[in-house]
Structure 1
Amino acid sequence: MSHQRNILVLGLDGADLPTLNAVPDAGTYRFHPLLGIQELPEGEVSVSDPMSRARAVSDAHDGSIDAIVGHCDFPVSTLIPMLGREYSTRTTSLESVVKCAHKYWSRMEQRKAIDAYPNSGRVDLQCAAPRTRRRGLSHVAQARTRPFLGNRLRRIGHDEVPSRPTAVRPG
Structure 2
Amino acid sequence: LELVLFLEIDEYIPGITSGQGAQIVIHEQGTYPFPAEGISISAGDQTVIGIKQMKINRLGDPYNECTQPEDTIASKYSYTRNLCQKKCLLLKIIQTCKCYYQEYQSLNSILNVSSTTKSCKTVEQNKCRANVTAKFNDEENSCNCYNPCSESVYEQSISYRQWPNKAMAKYLIGQVCQNKTALCSLLWNKSMEEL
Could you say whether these structures have the same fold, taking a TM-score greater than 0.5 normalized by the shorter chain as the test? no
TM-score normalised by the chain length of structure 1 = 0.25
Larger radius of gyration: 2
TM-score normalised by the chain length of structure 2 = 0.23
Higher relative contact order (CA 8 A, sep 6+): 2
**Structure (1/2) with the larger strand percentage:** 2
